[in-house]
Amino acid sequence: MAQAEFDTIAFRNALGSFTTGVTIITATAPDGTPVGLTANSFNSVSLDPPMVLWSLAKTSLSVEAFNETKHWNVHVLSQDQQDLSNTFAARGENKFEGIALDNGISDAPLLPDCSARFQCKNIVTHDGGDHLIYIGEVLKFDQQTLPPLVFQQGQYAMTARKPWEGVAISSEPSSPQCSYNEDLLGYLLGRSHFQMLFRMRKVFDEQAHEDSHFFALSVLNIQASLSLEQLNDHIEYTGHSLADSDIEFLLNQDLIEICDGDQYQLTDHGRETSLVHIAQAKAIEEELIEKLGAGDVMALKLLLKRLITSTDPGLPDLWKTQEHTK
């Protein structure tokens, strides 16, 4: 019976189901030229002695350099190093241009700001089909608390830590007859928003501000000046709006001033007040990072940005300069 032809594309796609980190391997060629490439084939081999491995396609232009070097470094990239990964994944020269390298224990280039780095001495190279497998002894390593960049199904991804036990908001499960439960996305988004805003309201209460005043000051902190109509265009999605009485209050509090006809802008006092609001919001965010971890917060921000762009009803761009209405 004839064996069916092996589908290498499907095989590669299946391998993509295995999520990996992203690394850059560096070395110095015999002529002194620094070489480096992006790889996700990195793995641990042994703890005692400490050994790791990675593999390189035999068709790579860097094969000769890695075959002849005695040392190479493995850099586990952080989430902020996607551009660096792309640079070293492409063929070409000057990959190291503009990078301030750290000093290592060998002549192999040592990249900064990585989640982890392993400085290795090559022990043995094995044949692995269309790849070469390099096994090295780890001579020195270091690690930073930076969330790692990961790769899955042919694209970059982000990690989010999964707790050992499930997370429940309520101590009691919802009734089977109740269709409204704590897993509803709208409930989760709404509750998290109002819980964070609840902390902010302590500052608002001290200043006798309504939520709409906070929104108005925040928008004017970004936009140079806006009319009442433009302000409401920016904040109407919150369920709040500004009336003439709100504008009068902000004027009397010396938080805004009239400029260019029907336009309003922050006064110096208004800008200082807005900065107090921002400082409080950042303090709450720092507490959140402390509790959830920087990686989870970065993943949360990315998901929220995707959600916002996919559900945007056509709101004005907050960071785009608005034309004055006449």
Within a domain: 324? no
Kindly tell me the sign of the dihedral angle through the C-alpha atoms of 235, 236, 240, 244.
positive
**What is the average pLDDT across 313-319?**
87
Within a domain: 287? yes
> Domain of 264: which CATH number?
1.10.10.10
Regarding whether 266 and 200 lie in a shared domain, the answer is yes
Within a domain: 61? yes
Residue 323 has pLDDT above 80, yes or no: no
Q: With b meaning 16 or more CB within 10 Å and e meaning fewer, what string describes 188-209?
A: eeeeeeeeeeeebeebbeeeeb
**What is the average pLDDT across 254-269?**
93
* Domain extent at residue 224: 185-311
**Mean residue pLDDT across the chain:** 89
Regarding whether 196 and 139 lie in a shared domain, the answer is no
The pLDDT of residue 326: 45
**What is the average pLDDT across 302-322?**
87
Residue 38 has pLDDT above 90, yes or no: yes
Q: What band does 4 get if pLDDT is binned at 50, 70 and 90?
A: low
Residue 2 has pLDDT above 60, yes or no: no
Regarding whether 196 and 126 lie in a shared domain, the answer is no
Regarding whether 27 and 145 lie in a shared domain, the answer is yes
Q: How far apart are CA 196 and CA 287, in angstroms?
A: 11
CA 139 to chain centre: 31
Within a domain: 58? yes
The pLDDT of residue 164: 62
Per-residue pLDDT reduced to its tens digit, 88-101 = 999 877 899 999 99
Q: How many domains does the chain have?
A: 2
Rounded percentage of the chain residues whose pLDDT exceeds 70? 92
The pLDDT of residue 175: 63
Regarding whether 197 and 128 lie in a shared domain, the answer is no
Regarding whether 94 and 201 lie in a shared domain, the answer is no
Lowest mean pLDDT among 34-48, 99-113, 195-209, 249-263: 195-209
Regarding whether 222 and 98 lie in a shared domain, the answer is no
CB-count burial class (<10 Å; 0-12, 13-18, 19+) for 95: buried
Within a domain: 251? yes
Task: Tell me which of 140, 157, 174 is where a domain ends.
Answer: 157
**What is the average pLDDT across 166-181?**
66
**What is the average pLDDT across 145-170?**
80
The pLDDT of residue 255: 95
> Domain of 57: which CATH number?
2.30.110.10
Regarding whether 149 and 22 lie in a shared domain, the answer is yes
The pLDDT of residue 232: 94
Over the chain, what HEC string results?
CCCCCCCHHHHHHHHCCCCEECEEEEEECCCCCEEEEEECCCEEEEECCEEEEEEEECCCCCHHHHHHCCEEEEEECEHHHHHHHHHHHCCCCCCCCCCCCECCCCCCCECCCCCEEEEEEEEEEEEECCEEEEEEEEEEEEECCCCECEEECCEEECCCCCCCCCCCCCCCCCCCCCCCCCCCHHHHHHHHHHHHHHHHHHHHHHCCCCHHHHHHHHHHHHCCCEEHHHHHHHHHHHCCCCCHHHHHHHHHCCCEEEECCCEEEECHHHHHHHHHHHHHHHHHHHHHHHHHCHHHHHHHHHHHHHHHHHHCCCCCCCCCCCCCCC
The pLDDT of residue 172: 63
Range ranked top by mean pLDDT from 7-11, 89-93, 175-179, 241-245? 241-245
CB-count burial class (<10 Å; 0-12, 13-18, 19+) for 318: exposed
Cβ 150 vs Cβ 81: under 8 Å: no
Regarding whether 22 and 129 lie in a shared domain, the answer is yes
Task: Tell me which of 120, 138, 157 is where a domain ends.
Answer: 157
Regarding whether 303 and 202 lie in a shared domain, the answer is yes
Regarding whether 248 and 135 lie in a shared domain, the answer is no
Within a domain: 147? yes
Regarding whether 239 and 114 lie in a shared domain, the answer is no
Per-residue pLDDT reduced to its tens digit, 210-234 = 889 989 999 999 998 999 999 999 9
Within a domain: 164? no
Q: Which residues pair with 214 in a beta bridge?
A: none
Within a domain: 325? no
Task: Tell me which of 141, 157, 173 is where a domain ends.
Answer: 157
Range ranked top by mean pLDDT from 80-94, 104-118, 231-245? 104-118
Q: With b meaning 16 or more CB within 10 Å and e meaning fewer, what string describes 254-263?
A: ebbbeeeeeb
